[in-house]
Structure formats: C-alpha cells, structure tokens
C-alpha cells in the first residue's frame, strides 16, 4: 500500500492480512474443540485450543447431557477426535475414575486467560496427590496470607479444569468438605474423594 505523507513524500507500508477462512467470509480464528469419552462413573469431556486444555467436564450419566453442558460453556466449539497430545490426559482421567492414582501434572492446561491469583491457586491444587487434601486456609498460607482463604475458595469455584486441577481435593477447615460448584455439589466432591480413597470422603454416604 502506498500513501502520501504530510509533505507529499510517498512511502510504502506493507500490510499483512490475516488468512481468510477457506470457503468463508471471515478470518481464521483459534477454534475450540471438544471430545467426550466414557469413564467408570459416566461420560466426561475435555475442550482444547491451540495452547492446551481450556475446559474439563466432570462425568455425566450419559453423553447427551455432557454434550449439552459443554455447548453451554463453549457454544462455538466443534466436536472432534481427541488429538494425540491429549490421549494420555484422557487415559489418566479414566484411570483416576477407576481408583488409580495418576497425577495429571503433565496435562497441558491453557492458563493464558486466567487471572494471576487464580493461576497460583490452581498450580498449588494441581500438586495435591490423589487421595490427599489441603484446606482453603492451607493454600492461603502457601500463598503468603492465611486471610486469603475465602479468595482461594472463590478461585476454585471458577476452575475450568476439574479433575485436572483437582479442586475437589481442597476442603474446609475442621474436617468439613466445603463447597463444590459442579453438578451434584458436595456429593459429587465426596464421591470423587471416595474414589481416590481420601479420608475426607468419610463425611458422607457417597452412594446414597
């Protein structure tokens, strides 16, 4: 593109257009894709983009319920086969739901849009081994201020990657389970802890 400057001098500016979508009128944008898969306790799912996982869905009793839930969160997402780089993540989630103890620390999580404080909370939560727990207050202390316990709970309540970021392993003080924002609430949290053999699961009858 050639333009004239204010003193009449011509100069050339090189403009690089974004690649057009083949067969479409818009431009190519990063696409969120998702896949559902069966586990020992129902149909779970993952969603991903160019930089890794952008969401994980806890198991539902049937795939259609899981699919509807995913599309409420990611209405523009396209269903696709699990890419090879996420095969191990899917198998580790399945293993965890069978009562095995993979840590899922190598699952690629895209935190590029995650607030800094939330990201710090999630990194601490990811380091909690299956079958063990920390309290909101203990995570707050690790962050440097025990008064942050409520903020820790709020961050975990917005966790897009349950299981991979195991917010179910974070409990309230005094042996209480604390809240859980996923479908089923505290009962779902206790069921997951029970599968992992965590002592906190003794708080309730998991399969009532």
> Looking at the annotation, which residues are catalytic?
167
Using CA atoms, how far apart are residues 185 and 83, in angstroms rounded to an integer? 31
Tell me the two tokens of residue 85: 């780089």
8 Å CB contact between 152 and 162: no
Tell me the two tokens of residue 185: 């609430």
8 Å CB contact between 200 and 171: yes
**Cα→Cα distances 35→47, 107, 123, Å:** 7, 15, 24
Using CA atoms, how far apart are residues 102 and 88, in angstroms rounded to an integer? 10
Regarding beta strands 134-135 and 78-79, do their DSSP bridges make them parallel or antiparallel, or are they unpaired?
unpaired
């Amino acid at each position: 593109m050639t333009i004239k400057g204010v003193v009449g001098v011509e100069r050339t500016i090189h403009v690089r257009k974004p690649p057009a979508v083949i067969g479409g009128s818009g431009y190519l944008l990063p696409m969120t894709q998702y896949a559902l898969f069966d586990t020992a306790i129902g149909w779970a799912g993952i969603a991903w983009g160019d930089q890794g996982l952008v969401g994980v869905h806890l198991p539902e009793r049937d795939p259609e319920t899981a699919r509807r839930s995913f599309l409420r969160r990611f209405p523009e997402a396209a269903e696709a086969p699990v890419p090879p780089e996420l095969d191990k993540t899917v198998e580790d989630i399945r293993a965890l739901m069978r009562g095995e103890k993979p840590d899922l620390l190598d699952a690629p999580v895209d935190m590029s849009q995650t607030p800094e404080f939330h990201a710090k909370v999630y990194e601490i939560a990811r380091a909690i081994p299956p079958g063990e727990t920390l309290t909101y207050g203990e995570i707050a202390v690790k962050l440097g201020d025990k008064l942050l316990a409520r903020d820790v709970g709020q961050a975990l309540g917005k966790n897009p990657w349950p299981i991979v970021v195991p917010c179910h392993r974070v409990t309230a003080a005094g042996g209480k389970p604390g809240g859980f924002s996923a479908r089923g609430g505290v009962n779902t949290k206790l069921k997951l802890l029970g599968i992992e053999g965590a002592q906190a699961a003794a708080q309730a009858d998991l399969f009532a």
